[in-house]
């Protein structure tokens, strides 16, 4: 097994986990550097990288990331590699975000994944010194 290369994207490595509810089978994906999160349907693993990339780019567009930075992130996200978990900090945050998702989906079962991801970006996170993932991501892209 070859060693994974460090990420070249602004958002860094992403962690993913299954999030199954009564009505949906989702995958929650969380950025290591910003704790920004997206959700994609847990179906057809062959299309997962493209659906994941589309969800990330849609969220970044909604957050107001400038076009040039958005295009650069899209280019860097074309290469996908899978590896083992390396950050307990992200795993702990992901557990909190999964709980938030479950509560939100219970209250609004028809909420779309993009809206839910946008709402997750507005939740202060302890590992970010209680800053918002949206705020950290925009700073990293030089958009603030």
Average pLDDT of the segment spanning 102-107: 94
Per-residue model confidence as pLDDT tens digits over 19-40: 998 889 999 999 999 999 999 9
The total number of residues written for the chain in this structure: 144
DSSP assignment string, 63-74: HT--HHHHHHHH
Contact 17, 90 (CB under 8 A): no
Per-residue model confidence as pLDDT tens digits over 121-135: 999 999 999 999 999
* Domain range summary for the chain, segments of one domain joined by +: 14-140
Q: Is 14-140 in CATH node 3.30.160? A: no
Q: Is the pLDDT of residue 88 over 50?
A: yes
Handedness of CA 25, 47, 30, 59 (dihedral sign): negative
């Amino acid at each position: 097994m070859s060693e994974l290369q460090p990420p070249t994207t602004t958002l860094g490595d992403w962690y993913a986990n299954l999030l199954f509810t009564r009505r949906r089978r989702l995958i929650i994906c969380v950025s290591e550097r910003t704790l920004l999160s997206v959700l994609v349907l847990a179906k057809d693993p062959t299309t997962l990288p493209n659906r994941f990339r589309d969800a990330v780019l849609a969220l970044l567009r909604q957050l107001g990331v400038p076009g040039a930075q958005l295009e650069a992130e899209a280019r860097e996200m074309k290469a996908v590699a899978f590896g083992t978990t390396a950050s307990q900090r992200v795993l702990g945050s992901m557990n909190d975000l999964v709980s938030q998702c479950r509560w939100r989906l219970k209250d609004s079962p028809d909420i779309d994944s993009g809206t839910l991801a946008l709402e997750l970006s507005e939740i202060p996170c302890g590992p970010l010194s209680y800053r918002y993932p949206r705020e950290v991501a925009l700073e990293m892209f030089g958009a603030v």
